[in-house]
């Protein structure tokens, strides 16, 4: 197998549901080598959930691959639940899962919102981490949220016009509040069309070249509802962390190996955030993919991520 292609499809050797409080239960799975180096996959969104292909970034002979769905996302229950759902909750869920699986330390892999959560988790629990592989950097600053809601129209005007079409001219002055109101409505007839519109917008803007497969994935019911609700919830609350906390605290990670992979033409999470992160974390390896947008499935990004996980095999040895 070349080191630029995904590893073959595999099935989990173990999976389960882990209650983390009275309200939320997390889906988790393990695949690959039970005695291998533990690696944690953090999905994007927030709220997008994980997918079987996410296992394929990792050599199953070497890695013990842990994948789970964050609160309110994917197969975790209840889907789209915003109560008791904050970044500090998600950080502690990761620690709960680590302890539940009797893992001392793990490599942390995350893209987009997964990169946000990886940084937040690593800064809160650096002793639990062996290193980081991050893609499509999102620091969830107000400028980035405003870009997603308004700035993207400069590159994807058709997608943006479709996104705001359900809103009145007055509502378009605060797109987030208008969508939040619809997405949190208990009636599926109201929240599902809003969720699909949100998902379609993000899907259409996520790749350098048009990708119907990406749009279909983002508009499927489970992904759309989890993604749209969680993104609107987290964006409305500045991700429940102090201003600029991720960059201010990245010095806690300076001693750990890290690779950052960024698409040059990432419209959803523009490269300026990755650039800001690498200036704050000069020790990290920084790989710019010159012919890619945001999606992890674009050829250049996909290859760079597989190469990164392969490179970490030579840097980190499995725990005894």
- Outline where the chain has alpha helix (H): 87-100, 113-124, 142-149, 157-164, 175-183, 188-204, 212-219, 221-236, 245-248, 271-280, 299-315
Determine the 3-state secondary structure of 225 from DSSP.
helix
Report domain extents, the chain. Answer: 14-141+241-315, 143-239
Q: Does domain 14-141+241-315 have CATH number 1.20.120.420?
A: no
Whether the Cβ atoms of residue 251 and residue 104 lie closer than 8 Å to each other: no
The reply to whether 112 belongs to the active site is: yes
| Number of helices (H), then strands (E), in the chain | 11, 8
* Residue of 273, 294, 295, 303 with catalytic role: 294
Whether the Cβ atoms of residue 193 and residue 166 lie closer than 8 Å to each other: yes
Of 260, 297, 293, the residue nearest 6 (C-alpha)? 297
- Retrieve residue 201's tokens: 């917008």
* Whether the model pTM is above 0.95: yes
* Residue of 50, 206, 266, 273 with catalytic role: 266
Angle between helix axes 188-204 and 157-164 (nearest 10 degrees) is 170
320 residues of the chain, pLDDT tens digit each: 456 799 999 999 999 999 999 999 999 999 999 999 999 999 999 999 999 999 999 999 999 999 999 999 999 999 999 999 999 999 999 999 999 999 999 999 999 999 999 999 999 999 999 999 999 999 999 999 999 999 999 999 999 999 999 999 999 999 999 999 999 999 999 999 999 999 999 999 999 999 999 999 999 999 999 999 999 999 999 999 999 999 999 999 999 999 999 999 999 999 999 999 999 999 999 999 999 999 999 999 999 999 999 999 998 875 44
Whether the Cβ atoms of residue 70 and residue 258 lie closer than 8 Å to each other: no
């Amino acid at each position: 197998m070349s080191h630029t292609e995904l590893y073959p499809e595999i099935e989990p050797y173990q999976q389960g549901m882990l209650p983390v409080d009275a309200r939320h239960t997390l889906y988790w799975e393990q695949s690959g080598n039970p005695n291998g180096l533990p690696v944690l996959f953090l999905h994007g969104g927030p709220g997008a959930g994980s997918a079987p292909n996410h296992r394929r970034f990792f050599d199953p002979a070497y890695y013990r691959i842990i994948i789970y769905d964050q609160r309110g996302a994917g197969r975790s229950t209840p889907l789209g639940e915003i109560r008791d759902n904050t970044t500090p909750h998600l950080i502690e869920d990761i620690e709960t899962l680590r302890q539940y699986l009797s893992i001392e330390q793990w490599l942390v892999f995350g893209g987009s919102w997964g990169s946000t959560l990886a940084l937040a988790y690593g800064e809160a629990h650096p002793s639990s981490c062996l290193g980081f592989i991050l893609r499509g950097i999102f620091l969830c600053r107000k400028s980035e949220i405003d870009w997603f809601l308004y700035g993207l129209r400069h590159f994807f005007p058709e997608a943006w016009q479709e996104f705001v079409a359900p809103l009145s001219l007055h509502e378009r002055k605060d797109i987030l509040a208008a969508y939040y109101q619809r997405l949190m409505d208990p009636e599926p007839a109201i929240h599902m069309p809003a969720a699909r519109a949100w998902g379609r917008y993000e899907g259409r803007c996520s790749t350098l070249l048009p990708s119907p497969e990406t749009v279909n994935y983002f508009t499927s019911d489970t992904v759309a509802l989890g993604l749209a609700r969680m993104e609107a919830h987290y964006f409305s609350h500045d991700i429940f962390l102090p201003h600029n906390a991720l960059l201010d605290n990245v010095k806690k990670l300076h001693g750990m190996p890290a690779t950052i992979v960024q698409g040059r033409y990432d419209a959803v999470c523009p490269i300026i955030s990755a650039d800001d992160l690498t200036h704050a974390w000069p020790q990290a390896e920084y790989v710019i993919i010159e012919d890619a947008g945001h999606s992890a499935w674009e050829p250049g990004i996909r290859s760079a991520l597989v190469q990164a996980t392969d490179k970490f095999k030579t840097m980190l040895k499995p725990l005894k």
